[in-house]
Amino acid sequence: MTDTSDAAARPEGSLSAPSSARAGAQPSPQLGADANGAANAVAQPPARDAATLILARRDTETPRILMGLRGKGASFMPSKFVFPGGALDPEDHALAALAHMLDAPSATCAARLAQGSAPDLAAPLALAAIRETWEETGLRIGRPDAELAAELAARAPHGWRGFFDTGIVPTMDALTFVFRAVTPPYRPKRFDARFFLADAAVVMGDPDDFAAASGELSHLTWVTLQEARKLELPLITEVVLAEVEEILHAPAADRPVPFFHHTGERSFFDQL
């Protein structure tokens, strides 16, 4: 499961740019209704915690990001180009119990992830983003440490053990929290997605080698932001791309994190 926020069922152009969030909460009333403008009165499922990773590659003059195509039969965002990502698993929580052995998320990242969330989610969310990227693309985000990798492999939950096979350990401190989006309440499948950004330099191995990818995403490719905007994208992804572009142009700036969320039938851009 990939790119875990959805705001596609509304008129084109109805989603505010993330820069508006920096002035405080900005309501977007039209985002709380379906394509016909009517709120869905059916009881809504809770949004699952999820994480997405945007890898930025800077080995050419123009930065590129990694995206892949979801299949037309996917239950969430079918036939859309998305970033690697997915729901938080119990195994991410289990590995997070060993976080004292790993490079933890930065204090700023952890503090922002904690806002409006259950406690102690920073490490599990960062690990979920790394795991989903590994599963869906075959790329490992981390650093070499064969001794620690072997120790972690012996203690890690089953779903994580294969990550350590090549002597790599995940590096959560390489991830920057850049966006949060909750799927609108009228959707049958909902996620509370945290988007992370990382430099592709932290990929251990060939960043063009997708041989170990699970197949959940096809057409895995590095594209410029301009090329990405020409793809079939969820609307929320277009908004995230705008935020990523600003960050890549001013990487040292300490900027607030846009937060797209909903209260009743109204939707808001806030900041964390």
Distance CA 25, CA 85 (A): 26
**Tens digits of pLDDT across the chain (272 residues):** 444 444 433 333 345 445 545 445 554 433 333 433 344 445 677 889 999 999 999 988 899 999 999 755 544 455 689 999 999 999 999 999 998 999 999 999 999 999 988 879 999 999 999 999 999 999 999 999 999 999 999 999 999 999 999 999 999 999 999 999 998 887 778 899 999 999 999 999 999 999 999 988 989 999 999 999 999 898 889 999 999 999 998 876 678 999 988 877 788 888 88
Instruction: Give Cα 132 to chain centroid, integer Å.
Output: 9
Structural domains present in the chain: 46-271 (3.90.79.10)
pLDDT at 43: 62
Which pLDDT does position 21 carry in this prediction?
52
Other beta carbons within 10 Å of 186: 20
Q: Which helix (DSSP H) or strand (DSSP E) does residue 112 occupy?
A: helix 107-114
Which residues, 6 or more positions from 6, have their beta carbon under 8 angstroms from its beta carbon?
76, 77, 183, 184, 187, 189, 190, 191, 234, 236
**Residues, the chain:** 272
Spell out where 183-255 has E strands: 191-199, 203-204, 217-224
